[in-house]
Amino acid sequence: MSSQRVLIPAEKIQARIAELGAEIDRDYPTGPVYLVGVLKGAVMFMADLARAMKTPARLEFVVIASYGKGKTSSGEARLIKDLDHPIEGFDVIVVEDIVDTGITLTYLMQVLRQRNPKSLRIASLLDKPSRRQRPVTVDYRGFEVPDQFLVGYGLDFSEDYRNLKDVCVLDG
Ligand code: PRP
């Protein structure tokens, strides 16, 4: 039986998101900024980050399938749900819950770059650089996390735990 313990409590997550929202406001004073959330993990962060920003934001979502993902991620990625609107000429921030190997974002950034956005950056609540297989730079990073299996605040294990308010470590 798995047990979970809190790694990043809800209040700390929300305080950090407020800072990130203010940073984005400073960087994009006029907007609109397209926030591109990667389902499903990013949904909580996307909702809170968008509301932490004063700059007008437009919300888009993509779904990316990765092959060979269980508790560890490996292999390649494929877009199975595309953007609903063109992003050409717009400022775009990709919103992720976590960057692990970097395979998902390396693929997505390459896809989005071909759409000719005005700018393209990455916001990720969590960053696990110790697991990186492909170089990915996170422009707006919430927290650097150790190499432990994390759940909560969007992150799942077999679809469970996504609605926890805290980011937790799953033990056992
Ligand atoms: C997770 C997470 C990122 C990706 C990061 O998604 O939300 O999209 O893995 O891993 P990587 O850097 O090794 O590519 P997952 O495929 O588990 O789907 P989910 O968001 O629906 O949980």
* 1 band by pLDDT with thresholds 50, 70 and 90: low
Residue 48: active-site member:
no
pTM of the full structure: 0.95
pLDDT per residue as tens digits for the range 129-145 = 999 999 999 999 999 99
Question: Which pLDDT value is given to residue 67?
Answer: 72
98: CA distance to ligand 1 center in Å? 7
pLDDT per residue as tens digits for the range 51-62 = 999 999 999 999
Q: Say how far residue 35 (Cα) sits from the centre of its chain.
A: 10
Q: What is the mean pLDDT of the chain?
A: 94
41: CA distance to ligand 1 center in Å? 7
| Identity of residue 131 | R
- Nearest Cα residue to 57 out of 49, 45, 67, 65: 49
**165's torsion region: left (phi>0), alpha (psi -120 to 50) or beta?**
alpha
Question: Which pLDDT value is given to residue 75?
Answer: 60
Structure tokens at 66: 């990765």
